[in-house]
Amino acid sequence: MRILAIVALAAAVTACATTEETVPVGYVPAPASAQPGAEAIQVTVTAVDARTTNRARISTKMNGYGMEMAPIRSKEEVADIVRDALSAEFKQRGYKLAAGGPKVEAKVATFYSQYGVGILAGKAVATADLTVTVTSPSGAEVYKRVLNGKSEKSVQIFNGKNAAAALSAALADDFKTLFADEAFTKALAAQ
């Protein structure tokens, strides 16, 4: 009976690793105070998926031996995830999302969470590489920066929920760097 239970458990665990998973990548902006003068600035936010690898997935499940198994996909398009997350950051800081002001574009180069096997726990290492460009209402590029957001989390299960959480944290790392850059906030205020 004991051997049968062990075989059933092993089959269940393997089945999970071989089943494709589609998950939402939720993003909640960190608390931030309103930027001085932000209420007078209208911002248009766009995002472009420029990934050249892993375009069809955001991670891959692994078994206990470190072998890649089934893909993990996002419910939403990656460009939409990034656009919505960046828009939430702007709203958090008091900016208005509307046409007529500067255009902020986030070009996604990498959006992927890689699992690794450890001794007592595994880890999810997420990377969200973006190039953010600010264009003035007249069409002149006034700001450009490459952001390399990273996140590393200890995990017990190599599933979609953990991959999504790691990617959300990597985006938060990008936006923390972006909004701390004085040249970025000055570019938004320049009309």
What SS3 state is found at 60? strand
pTM score, two decimals?
A: 0.87
Taking the CB of residue 11, how many other CB atoms lie within 10 A of it?
A: 10
Written as tens digits, the pLDDT of the chain (191 aa) is 666 444 444 444 444 777 899 999 999 998 999 898 999 999 999 999 999 998 999 999 988 777 888 999 999 999 999 999 999 999 999 999 999 899 999 999 999 999 988 777 889 999 999 999 999 999 999 999 999 999 999 998 899 999 999 999 999 999 999 999 999 999 999 86
Side chain identity at 27, as an amino acid letter? Y
- Residue 104: phi, psi to the nearest 5? -110, 120
Side chain identity at 98, as an amino acid letter? A
What residue spans define the domains of the chain?
A: 2-22+37-189
| Residue for token pair 């089945």 | 15
The domain covering 2-22+37-189 belongs, at the CATH homologous superfamily level, to ABC-type transport auxiliary lipoprotein component (3.40.50.10610)
